[in-house]
């Protein structure tokens, strides 16, 4: 083996092994070797630090508008199934999945540009606004009969934006101009020049990483709007260049946030104050409930409960309940109002899904923390009223 320092000298004095080196030469070689070792360690440390910095930079926030629901969020809600697959029924949603793949709905909260830095016009091309120019969501730029949220122009509305991963930032909401053409992909010239509402770093409520984790704020909807429009949202993070974009299809027809065009309403839980349950409803009548796990992981699962009316008269409301298996806790619930006492769980309908026609049905969903990988599923009973 030739020491680095001695290798240079060997061109003049010839190749000699370490045994033939003078004490001074050996000392110089040892110093050189130590320097090389230190340099290698420093290089390794710098690479590790760089890796941490890069990983931190790519740790993305995730979220999407829930009220009024974005295309990806409402299509996800439309596609939930007892098997855990996401298979939307809405024609526009189905077409978007054919273009962008099912991953676009499994990750409905990730319509983002990591290099966005809050940029809009001139950065996102015309016709690509709803995908934010992200090719993984190109199908959501297309024209179609998307799910609609029904609103009242000028009314105060309770907005919510999912915080699947929470980060601070600003939220900007725009609306389309009067006379815009819904039969072509959205362009920048279709939007009003200024946002009708801007929110500065709203707080997070609910469990982050679930549909209950949300940024919430109230504000006035644009005035003098009628018919179909698009509410365009931009979430600009203040701790990163990452920026989220989304289209929420709405119709100004005097509505109060009702959703049409999907199988189940895509809105968060009602704020109605529940009563404390003492036991689940007795069941055994015309109301039937089915509990189905739609997704599971080590330590928890997501489930959908279907409430069915098998009577000849319409329900004006319903109540479902069950005894929670040992070790399980409810982490979040939507499309219903939860009340719980000990392990007794009751879920009352929300304001928008209480009415069930004869032989009709509705659903609510929940996330449960549960030990192990094969959780016990409860038996749910229900009553219609």
Which residues on adjacent β-strands are paired with residue 238?
none
242-279 pLDDT per residue, tens: 999 999 999 999 999 999 998 743 333 333 344 555 56
Say yes or no to pLDDT of 236 above 50. Answer: yes
Residue with the bigger pLDDT between 292 and 374: it is 292
Min mean pLDDT across 8-17, 65-74, 208-217, 247-256 is at 8-17
User: Among 163, 108, 106, 161, which Cα is nearest to 294's?
Assistant: 106
- In sign, the C-alpha dihedral spanning 257, 262, 264, 269 is negative
The answer to whether residues 93 and 78 touch, using CB atoms and an 8 Å cutoff, is yes
Record the tokens describing residue 295, joined without a space: 């997704």
How many CB atoms are located within 10 Å of the residue 79 CB? 22
Domain boundaries, the chain: 4-57, 65-260, 287-384
Question: Residue 282 has what pLDDT?
Answer: 53
Rounded Cα gap, residues 371 and 16, in angstroms: 68
Q: What is the DSSP string of 250-304?
A: EEESS-SS-EESSSS-------PPPPPPSS-----SSEEEEEEEEEEETTEEEEE
Rounded Cα gap, residues 235 and 121, in angstroms: 15
Chain center to CA of 308: 28
Q: What is the DSSP string of 102-139?
A: THHHHTTT--EETT-TT--BTTBPTT-TTTTT-GGGGG
28-80 pLDDT per residue, tens: 555 455 555 544 444 444 443 333 333 333 334 589 999 999 999 999 999 98
147-177 pLDDT per residue, tens: 999 999 999 999 999 998 888 999 999 999 9
pLDDT band at 350 (very low <50, low <70, confident <90, very high): confident
Q: What is the DSSP string of 341-357?
A: ETTEEEEE--TTS--B-
> What is the pTM (predicted TM-score) of this model?
0.56
User: Among 343, 351, 288, which Cα is nearest to 320's?
Assistant: 288
Instruction: Tell me if the domain spanning 65-260 has CATH number 3.40.50.11030.
Output: no
Instruction: Tell me if the domain spanning 287-384 has CATH number 2.60.40.290.
Output: yes
């Amino acid at each position: 083996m030739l020491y680095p320092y001695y290798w240079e000298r060997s061109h003049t004095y010839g190749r000699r092994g370490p045994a033939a080196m003078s004490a001074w030469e050996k000392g110089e070689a040892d110093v050189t070797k130590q320097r090389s070792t230190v340099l290698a360690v420093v290089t390794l440390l710098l690479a590790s630090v760089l890796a941490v910095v890069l990983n931190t930079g790519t740790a993305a926030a995730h979220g999407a508008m829930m009220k009024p629901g974005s295309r990806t969020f409402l299509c996800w809600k439309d596609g939930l199934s007892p098997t855990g697959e996401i298979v939307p029924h809405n024609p526009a949603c189905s077409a978007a999945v054919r273009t962008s793949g099912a991953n676009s709905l499994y990750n409905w909260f990730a319509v983002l540009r990591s290099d966005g830095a809050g940029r809009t016009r001139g950065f996102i091309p015309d016709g690509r606004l709803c995908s934010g120019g992200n090719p993984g969501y190109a199908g959501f730029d297309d024209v179609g009969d998307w799910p609609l949220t029904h609103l009242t122009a000028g009314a105060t509305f309770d907005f919510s934006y999912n915080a699947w991963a929470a980060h601070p930032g600003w939220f900007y909401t725009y609306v389309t101009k009067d006379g815009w053409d819904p039969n072509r992909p959205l362009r920048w010239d279709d939007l009003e020049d200024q946002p009708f509402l801007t929110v500065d770093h709203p707080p997070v409520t609910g469990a982050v990483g679930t549909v209950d984790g949300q940024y919430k704020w109230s504000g006035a909807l644009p005035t003098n709007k009628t018919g179909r429009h698009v509410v365009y949202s931009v979430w600009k993070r203040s701790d990163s260049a990452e920026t989220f974009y989304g289209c929420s299809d709405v119709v100004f027809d005097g509505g109060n946030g009702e959703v049409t065009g999907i199988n189940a309403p895509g809105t968060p839980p009602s704020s109605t104050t529940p009563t404390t349950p003492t036991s689940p409803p007795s069941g055994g009548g015309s109301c039937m409930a089915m509990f189905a796990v739609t997704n599971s992981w080590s330590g928890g699962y997501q489930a959908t409960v279907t409430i069915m009316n098998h009577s000849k008269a319409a329900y004006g409301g319903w109540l479902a309940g069950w005894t929670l298996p040992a070790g399980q806790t409810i982490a979040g619930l939507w499309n219903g109002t939860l009340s719980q006492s000990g392990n007794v769980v009751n879920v009352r309908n929300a304001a928008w899904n209480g009415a069930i026609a004869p032989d009709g049905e509705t659903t609510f969903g929940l996330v449960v923390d549960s030990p192990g990988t094969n959780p016990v599923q409860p038996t749910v009973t229900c009553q219609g009223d």
